[in-house]
Amino acid sequence: MPRFSGILELREMMELAGRDDCESRLVLRDGDRWRVEHGPFGRARFRRLPARNWTLLVQGIDNFLEQARQLLARFSFIPYSRLDDLMVSFAAAGGGVGPHFDSYDVFLLQGTGRRRWQVSRQRDLALRDDIPLKILRRFRPAGEAVLRPGDMLYLPPQFAHDGVALEDCQTYSVGFRAPTHRELASEFLIFLEERLALSGRYADPGLRPQEAPAQISESMVREIAAVMRRIRWTGNDVAEFLGTYLTEPKPNIRFSPPARPLGASAFARAVARAGVHLAPGSRMLCSRGALYLNGEKTPAATGALQKLANEGRLAGRRMPRDAASRGRLYEWYRAGYILPGIQPRT
């Protein structure tokens, strides 16, 4: 990405790392010894850091900064349903987090400074058990690249890599979800559990005494198996599951409703002039004629609301005309999910 050199300064990273709703870590290395500290961090902690061999990582900055959301929009060639978050790391010279692998697709975009990456497609992914980091026990680099401002490196899931700062530098990690089938199945079963409508209760009017009372009878197994076979789902159920699951806010995300909300008419006039945009932290997807915003389903996805989902913003002249869609926008505004006005693109 030519001319890219980052979207926030170290001072701003430290401010985010001081928030209790923002996930942050400090990783420090002393030879082969590693230490991890979890935020939030006060200013005094940063003043005590050594000159070398430490890294500050701040997770999910797209939940707090509009510039971060705009950076993620540059990656819209991959559907938002795959998007996880944007992490930024600042490393003093010699800093890094050790050789490791990620369970998702990631683009590593260099901001300031230079970082040397060594990579490997190795199958041996055993981890060390003597340190508080998921560092590979045996890392065998097979390639190397030095990233300068604007350079980017793509790594598929489980591709071993190790990045070391050649000087004070900043790296942006754009992560894309690659959930395991087991994880998806587990979450889908939880989704189904809340929607099951199985009538009846187990009964065995023909029960006879058993010589071995601890034995589960074959008749009981057959009857319960027949009940389980009555559990069904459709493609629409899967679409609704994905919409709610993939837009569910992370536990640390908090939305701030307006302290003095506009009335419905005043809101309509304001957004007709200035438009609206998704609040930091909001996630919005479409599927089969429905919209999903922050884990909630909206049945009718009009063209205007789909545009809001795709672009994260909606100009005043694009405001929906139907009363139902306007009402939903107002509800989302009252919940803190959207904000009046359109942030300028950078």
Domains of the chain in sequence order: 10-176 (2.60.120.650), 264-340 (3.40.366.30)
* DSSP tag of 234: -
Count Cα neighbours of 263 within 13 Å in the Cβ-side half-sphere. Answer: 2
Report how far residue 133's alpha carbon sits from residue 139's, in angstroms, rounded to the nearest whole number.
14
Scan for tokens 């009964």, then name that residue: 203
Phi, psi for 254 (deg, rounded to 5): -130, 135
Amino acid 262: pLDDT: 94
Beta carbons of 121 and 160 less than 8 angstroms apart: yes
Amino acid 199: pLDDT: 84
Per-residue pLDDT of the chain (346 residues; tens, 9 = 90+): 999 999 999 999 999 999 999 999 999 999 889 999 999 999 999 999 999 999 999 999 999 998 998 899 999 999 999 999 999 999 999 999 999 999 999 999 999 999 999 999 999 999 999 988 999 999 999 999 999 999 999 999 999 999 999 999 999 999 999 889 999 999 999 999 888 888 888 888 888 888 898 999 999 999 999 999 989 899 999 999 999 999 999 888 989 999 999 999 999 999 999 999 999 899 999 999 899 999 999 887 688 999 999 999 999 999 998 899 999 999 999 999 999 987 655 4
Amino acid 346: pLDDT: 46
Amino acid 345: pLDDT: 52
**Residues 6+ positions from 50 with CB-CB distance below 8 Å:** 28, 92
Q: Is 342 helix (H, G, I), strand (E, B) or coil?
A: coil
Q: Is 33 helix (H, G, I), strand (E, B) or coil?
A: strand
Beta carbons of 32 and 133 less than 8 angstroms apart: no
Report how far residue 343's alpha carbon sits from residue 346's, in angstroms, rounded to the nearest whole number.
9
Report how far residue 241's alpha carbon sits from residue 185's, in angstroms, rounded to the nearest whole number.
11
Report how far residue 73's alpha carbon sits from residue 65's, in angstroms, rounded to the nearest whole number.
13
Amino acid identity of residue 42, one-letter, is: G
Chain Cα centroid distance, residue 23: 12
Query: Using omega within 30 degrees of 0 as the cis cutoff, is the peptide bond preceding 132 cis?
Result: no
Report how far residue 55's alpha carbon sits from residue 78's, in angstroms, rounded to the nearest whole number.
29
Angle between helices 264-274 and 323-335 (to 10 degrees): 100
Report how far residue 268's alpha carbon sits from residue 324's, in angstroms, rounded to the nearest whole number.
13
Amino acid 188: pLDDT: 95
Chain Cα centroid distance, residue 300: 25
- Can you state the percent helix, strand and coil of the chain, rounding each to 5? 30, 25, 45
In DSSP notation, 299-315 reads: S---HHHHHHHHHSEE-
Beta carbons of 17 and 39 less than 8 angstroms apart: yes
Beta carbons of 269 and 326 less than 8 angstroms apart: no
